[in-house]
């Protein structure tokens, strides 16, 4: 079995947002729509302060909350572990936007149309539906990495098949170094993080 | 072609013979900024915070790329960083539109509250256009002698919520 997974090494992320920019351009997303983004987490009090950059994207959960609330079954999970949206079935009710614990989903409306970007055929298709990170499934099927993985200047992101014992992601997950977010709340996911 | 840097000794000169020739101190030295709570205590009563306009955003390069939609979406607004505790005293919340005033002018930016800055320092981003232009705040006449660089950091300012 194939199970696509991503491991993000937070010790390598400098918060440059190159992944966010690459994602926005590759997917031609509208203003305010970020399938992937980097959040700043600040802890401590001056002068003893630490800052951590955490890249977020759709976690492609094992048991997705978005899938459970979808009344039209537009959200589905593939055998490869990727959570996708069938645009023809999505009616734009946005239950999933609220249900997602990682705020990874966006409703595409007219005001979010990308300005100044070349108009793409799929743009109108998206209007009135919910969109999110699809793990660049078209690229992955062609044997490439998701665009955020290839763009990262520090190779903070590793992508691969978690079920392949030879893959780097498999080894990192098995070693216990890579952990999912909200693990203690029972969220299984396909995106793992290495905290130093 | 000769190897080395374009200096008389072709080395990195911490002790600059050129500066000495021109009659300036050949070694780096510290001097209090033209405006500071110590050099101009009277001015500091009106403008109690130290302003730096050196804050960079890795999304942009100086003034470039601000009109690239994908990049502007990542960093849509000019931001001035201020210590959380200081901001609370001034009644400024995260994301508030604030006015930064110096003896030379004013600029308008969005406040970002952080613990990662000294309570008396305000860090404004540079190279935004219009009212957010940080060049409205600086003093073009205050130059380092010999070198000529202007005071882009180490100015006195006041900051308050706009409107």
Distances in whole angstroms, Cα of residue A9 to Cα of each of A18, A116, A159, A163: 15, 33, 11, 20
Alpha-helical runs (H) found in A59-188: 65-69, 95-99, 121-126, 137-141, 147-151, 168-174
**How many beta carbons lie within 10 A of that of residue A86, not counting itself?**
13
Residue A23's closest CA among B74, B88, B46?
A: B74
Report the pLDDT value the prediction gives residue A108, as an integer from 0 to 100.
85
Report the pLDDT value the prediction gives residue A122, as an integer from 0 to 100.
52
Report the pLDDT value the prediction gives residue B57, as an integer from 0 to 100.
86
- Residue range B87-104: average pLDDT? 96
DSSP, residue by residue, A14-68? ----HHHHHHHHHHT--TT--SSEEEEEEEEETTEEEEEEEEE-----SS-HHHH
Each residue's pLDDT expressed in tens, for chain A with a length of 196 residues: 889 999 999 999 999 999 999 999 998 888 888 999 999 999 999 999 999 999 999 999 999 999 999 999 999 999 999 999 999 999 999 999 999 999 999 998 766 665 555 555 455 678 889 999 999 999 999 999 999 999 999 999 999 999 999 999 999 999 999 999 988 887 889 999 998 6
Report the pLDDT value the prediction gives residue B99, as an integer from 0 to 100.
97
Residue B98: is its pLDDT beyond 60?
A: yes
Interface predicted TM-score (ipTM): 0.83
Report the pLDDT value the prediction gives residue B56, as an integer from 0 to 100.
82
Query: Is A46–B119 a contact, with Cβ atoms under 8 angstroms apart?
Result: yes
Query: In angstroms, rounded to a whole number, what is the distance separating the alpha carbons of residues A110 and A91?
Result: 15
Is-contact A173 A7, C-beta < 8 A? Answer: yes
Report the pLDDT value the prediction gives residue A187, as an integer from 0 to 100.
80
Report the pLDDT value the prediction gives residue A128, as an integer from 0 to 100.
87
Q: Least CA distance to A32: which residue of chain B?
A: B73
Closest by Cβ to A17, choosing from B74, B85, B116? B74
Tokens representing B124? Answer: 């404004």
Q: Residue B53, SS3?
A: strand
Answer whether B64 touches A (CB < 8 Å).
no
Report the pLDDT value the prediction gives residue B163, as an integer from 0 to 100.
74
Domains of chain B, each with CATH number or no CATH: 17-161 (2.40.40.20)
pTM: 0.86
Q: What is the pLDDT of residues B54-76, one digit of tens each?
A: 878 888 998 999 888 889 889 99
Residue A17's closest CA among B113, B65, B83?
A: B65
Query: In angstroms, rounded to a whole number, what is the distance separating the alpha carbons of residues B92 and A130?
Result: 35
Q: Least CA distance to A117: which residue of chain B?
A: B69
Domains of chain A, each with CATH number or no CATH: 4-194 (3.30.70.20)
Q: Least CA distance to A26: which residue of chain B?
A: B70
Residue B135's closest CA among B71, B51, B74?
A: B51
Report the pLDDT value the prediction gives residue A37, as an integer from 0 to 100.
95
What is the phi/psi pair of residue A67, to 5°?
-70, -40
């Amino acid at each position: 079995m194939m199970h696509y997974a991503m491991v993000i090494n937070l010790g390598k992320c400098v918060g440059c947002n190159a992944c966010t920019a690459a994602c926005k351009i590759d997917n031609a997303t509208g203003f305010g729509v970020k399938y992937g983004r980097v959040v700043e987490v600040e802890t401590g009090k001056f002068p003893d302060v630490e800052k951590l950059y955490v890249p977020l994207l759709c976690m492609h959960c094992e048991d997705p909350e978005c899938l459970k609330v979808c009344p039209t079954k537009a959200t589905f999970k593939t055998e490869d572990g990727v959570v996708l949206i069938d645009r023809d079935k999505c009616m734009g009710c946005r239950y999933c936007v609220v249900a997602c614990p990682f705020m990874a989903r966006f409703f595409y409306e007219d005001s979010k149309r990308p300005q100044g970007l070349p108009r793409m055929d799929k743009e109108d298709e998206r209007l009135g539906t919910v969109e999110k990170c699809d793990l660049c499934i078209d690229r992955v099927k062609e044997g490439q990495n998701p665009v955020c993985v290839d763009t990262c200047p520090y190779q903070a992101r590793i992508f691969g098949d978690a079920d392949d014992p030879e893959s780097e992601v498999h080894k990192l997950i098995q070693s216990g170094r890579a952990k999912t977010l909200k693990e203690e709340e029972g969220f299984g996911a396909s995106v793992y993080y290495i905290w130093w | 072609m000769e190897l080395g840097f374009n200096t008389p000794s072709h080395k990195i000169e911490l002790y600059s013979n050129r500066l000495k020739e021109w009659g300036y101190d050949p070694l780096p030295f510290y001097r209090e900024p033209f405006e500071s709570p110590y050099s101009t205590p009277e001015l500091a009563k009106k403008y109690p915070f130290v302003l730096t306009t050196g804050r960079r955003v890795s999304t942009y390069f100086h003034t470039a790329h601000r009109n690239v939609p994908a990049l502007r979406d990542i960093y849509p607004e000019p931001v001035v960083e201020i210590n959380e505790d200081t901001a609370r005293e001034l009644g400024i919340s995260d994301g508030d539109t604030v006015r930064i005033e110096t003896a030379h002018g004013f600029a308008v930016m969005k406040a970002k509250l952080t613990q990662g800055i000294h309570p008396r320092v305000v860090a404004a981003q540079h190279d935004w256009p219009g009212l957010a232009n940080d060049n409205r705040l600086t003093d073009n006449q205050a130059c380092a002698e010999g070198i000529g660089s202007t005071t882009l950091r180490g100015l006195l300012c006041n900051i308050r919520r706009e409107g």
